[in-house]
Structure formats: C-alpha cells, structure tokens
Amino acid sequence: MLTSEAFNALLKTLEEPPKHVVFVLATTDPQRVPVTIWSRCQRLDFRKISLVKIMEQLKAIAKSEKIEIEERALFMVGRSASGSMRDAISLLDQLISFAGNKIKIEDVVTVLGGAEEGVLFGFGDALAKGETKIVMELLEKNVEEGKSVLQITKDLIVHFRYLLFAKLGIQELIDLSTEQQKEILGQAESYSEANLKRIVRIFSRAQLDMKWQPQARIVLETALLEIMVEAKNEKGEEKADKADKVEEKRPVAIVAKKEEELSKPIETPMVASSGNGFMEKLTRNWEQVLEKVKGKTLFGYVSLHEGRPVGMNEKGRLMIEFKKGFSFHKQRLEDKLNKDAVEEAIAEITGQKVLIEGMVADRVDDSDPVSKVREGEGFSLEKVKEMFGGKIL
C-alpha cells in the first residue's frame, strides 16, 4: 500500500494521464485508498468464483488432458480452493504429478494432509456420545498417517460449521454433495444449537493458539477433551432439570423447623480485599490452592499453574497474570467450570470469597514471591503422566 505522500504524488498524474496509458490499481484493502484517488477511478470488485464453476473448469481440463478423477475428489479440490481458480488448477496439477492419470479421493486427502469426510463424521459421532477413547484413537490414527494437525483442526471447524447450518435450517450454505448433506442433517440431530456454537468457538480458539504453541497436537487434544467434558456437564444439567420437573409434580410435605434452627446464624465467608492481608495469605498458600484446584478440574489446574496472583483491581477482583503468548491458558481459566473451581479453592484455603479475572502481561516479573516458591517447578514428563493417567512409550 502506498503512503499518503505517494498517493498525493500520483494524484496529479491521474488527473492528467497520458493518452496511451491506462492505470490499473489493485488492492485487497480498498478502504485505505484516499477518496481523492478512488473518486477518479472506476471500481471493480472481484468476488470468489463459485464451487460449481470451478468444478466445471476442472472437469474440462481433466477431459482435455485425459485424466480420470472421481467426483468426490473433484469436489474436494474445488472446495479447498476457496473460490480461487488458480489455486484449484495448481492443486489439480500437483495431483496429476502425484497420482498420475487416475485421481481418487484418497489421493486428494494425502496431498492436502487433512482428514477424510468419514473421519470427520467419526469425530462428530464420538464427540456427541462422549467417547473419549474413540476420539483419541481417531486423532492418533490420522497423525500416524502423516496428516497435519492444523489441517485436521481446520477441517473440524468446517464440519461443525456445516452441522450448525443444518441445525439452523440453512442447507444452501453447505458446500457438500446431496448424499453428504443428508449425513450432515442426520448428525446435527445429536447436537443442540448452543453446543455447536461452543464447539466451533473451541476449535477456532485452538487453531489460533497453534500459532503460539509448538505442540499443535496437545492443543487439539485439550480442545477435544474440553468439548467432551462440557458435553457431559450439559447432559448432567439436562438430567437434573428433568429430575427437578419430576420432583415438582410430587406432593411436598412442609415441615416446620425448630426455633433454635431458624435462629441459628448462617456463616458466610469474608469478602477479600487488598487491605485485610488477603494477598499475603494467598501468596503464602498458593501451592495449596493449586492442589485444591487440581482435585476439582484438571484443565483449570494446568492453566492456573501457568499464572500467578498479582493483586486486586479496582473492581475488587483478584488478577491472575499470564506471560505473553499464554492467552490460551487465560481463556481456559476464565471458562465457567474452571473459574468457579478456582474461586471455590481460594475461598476454602483463605476463608475469604473473591472473584478472579485473567490478564496477559508483556513480561512477567520473576522476582515475585509466587514465582520464587515455584522456581524450578514445571510439568515434567513424570508429572504429566501422573496427571493424565498415561504411560511413557
């Protein structure tokens, strides 16, 4: 993009252009072009080419080059091009070099490094049923086959986006074959609209966090486990709601309590503040807080372990600070399940009730008391094995 000074220098030439010159200005950021420039130009907005037109062009090329390509493979090539004819033709050229004159769906999956449609539906079924073992085995199998974890994550986002469209009744936005659309509609019945939105958010956040985390597979595994944990909690809440409705229908006997029970004072925890020695007590007992949280939620413990308490903000909330690039742990800590567990643990250890809030700092001061207490401590291989109940191969 040109600077304002460069655009001003160009303006004079545009106002009085030579007769034999036609200026063509191309940009992906039109809003940054000064009004004095674009008001003197004819604007043409380029749009993505439709999937149908891309497939028609690829069929014509394959026919002229005497290449046999499966319909599903052709569809996958067109969809992966995201509206770019150049990218679609380039991918077709790679497939011809890789597979020769007969291109199958398996060849496209291998070249793209993503997951097959059957695998995506397998993930969808297993996540809906909360089958942790099957989900992890599917991921292990695809990683062993050399599939890209990042590409698998992108494919899962698209798959659950289609499930959400099906749930909302807008099938025209689903770029799949008629047969696959029927499968999508069937699988969408296993999810609620709110659950699908949450899953798309979790996978999108995982994709973003992979830019900062060297172990992309761990990020995806954690996202999959989080989806299943929250799905189980959601089912538990639904069962509880049903039980409550049943209880409401039953006759209830009202029993009067004894006067001494009614007059008994209710003990409530003291509200924490920066002036009552709360921070000093919390810092001194931080390791006990971590252990308490570990017993309540493993995900909350892993995220809290990467942060440290730094003080109370103006709203009276305890600030948990994370290093730069650790926003993944901050966001996970602020999930309701983890946040409630941490606040309960702090109240149990300090006897004072407090709300927590996460923050990401540009640089963490390692000289604070909590950092000194935890100096040299980290997630060793043995500790991770113990936490997840795994084994070292």
Listing DSSP states for 352-364 in one string gives EE--EEEEE-SS-
Where residue 221 sits, what CATH number does that domain have? Answer: 1.20.272.10
- 12 pLDDT tier (thresholds 50, 70, 90): confident
Residue 128 lies in a domain: yes
H or E element in which residue 194 lies = helix 193-209
**Of all residues in the chain, what percent carry a pLDDT higher than 70?**
80
The domain boundary, picked from 205, 230, 255, lies at: 230
Q: Are residues 122 and 101 in the same domain?
A: no
| Distance (Å) of CA 46 to CA 14, 26, 27, 53, 84 | 22, 10, 10, 15, 11
Q: How far is CA 108 from the centre of its chain?
A: 25
CA proximity to 85, closest of 45, 50, 40: 50
| Residue 280: other Cβ atoms inside 10 A | 10
Phi-psi region of 83 (alpha: psi -120 to 50; beta: other; left: phi over 0): left
Q: What are phi and psi of 217, to 5 degrees?
A: -65, -40
Q: What is the residue-wise DSSP string for 109-169? A: HHHHT---HHHHHHHHHHHHHT-HHHHHHHHHHHHHTT--HHHHHHHHHHHHHHHHHHHHT
In DSSP terms, 307 is beta-bridged to: 322
Q: Are residues 81 and 176 in the same domain?
A: no
In DSSP terms, 312 is beta-bridged to: 318
Residue 132 lies in a domain: yes
The secondary structure of the chain in percent helix, strand, coil, rounded to multiples of 5, reads 60, 5, 30
Q: What are phi and psi of 285, to 5 degrees?
A: -110, 25
Q: What are phi and psi of 364, to 5 degrees?
A: -95, 135
Residue 240 lies in a domain: no
Q: How far is CA 367 from the centre of its chain?
A: 33
Q: What is the tens place of the pLDDT at every residue in 331-375? A: 888 888 888 888 888 888 888 888 888 888 766 455 544 444 444
Q: Give the domain range for residue 370.
A: 270-374
- 64 pLDDT tier (thresholds 50, 70, 90): very high
Region 10-29 average pLDDT: 85
Residue 93 lies in a domain: yes
Q: Are residues 64 and 133 in the same domain?
A: no
Strands 318-322 and 307-312: antiparallel
Give residue 162's pLDDT.
92
Q: Are residues 314 and 365 in the same domain?
A: yes
Who's near 15: CB < 8 A, 6+ residues apart?
Answer: 40
Q: Are residues 327 and 353 in the same domain?
A: yes
The domain boundary, picked from 65, 81, 112, lies at: 112
Residue 251 lies in a domain: no
Query: Do the beta carbons of residue 271 and residue 354 sit within 8 Å?
Result: yes
Where residue 344 sits, what CATH number does that domain have? Answer: 3.30.300.180
Q: Give dist(CA 81, CA 365) in Å, integer.
A: 46
Q: Are residues 164 and 77 in the same domain?
A: no
Residue 45 lies in a domain: no
Q: What is the tens place of the pLDDT at every residue in 214-271? A: 888 999 999 998 888 766 665 555 555 555 555 555 555 444 444 555 455 544 445 5
Q: Are residues 92 and 160 in the same domain?
A: no
Q: Please give the tally of structural domains in the chain.
A: 4
Give residue 376's pLDDT.
46
| Residue 34: other Cβ atoms inside 10 A | 13
Q: What are phi and psi of 103, to 5 degrees?
A: -110, 125
Residue 385 lies in a domain: no
The domain boundary, picked from 83, 112, 141, lies at: 112
Q: Are residues 310 and 336 in the same domain?
A: yes
Name the pTM for this structure.
0.51
Residue 180 lies in a domain: yes
Q: Are residues 121 and 220 in the same domain?
A: yes
Q: What is the tens place of the pLDDT at every residue in 292-324? A: 888 888 777 888 888 888 888 888 888 888 887
Where residue 99 sits, what CATH number does that domain have? Answer: 1.10.8.60
- 276 pLDDT tier (thresholds 50, 70, 90): low
Q: Are residues 177 and 224 in the same domain?
A: yes
Strands 102-103 and 68-69: parallel
Query: Do the beta carbons of residue 358 and residue 307 sit within 8 Å?
Result: yes
Q: Are residues 124 and 225 in the same domain?
A: yes
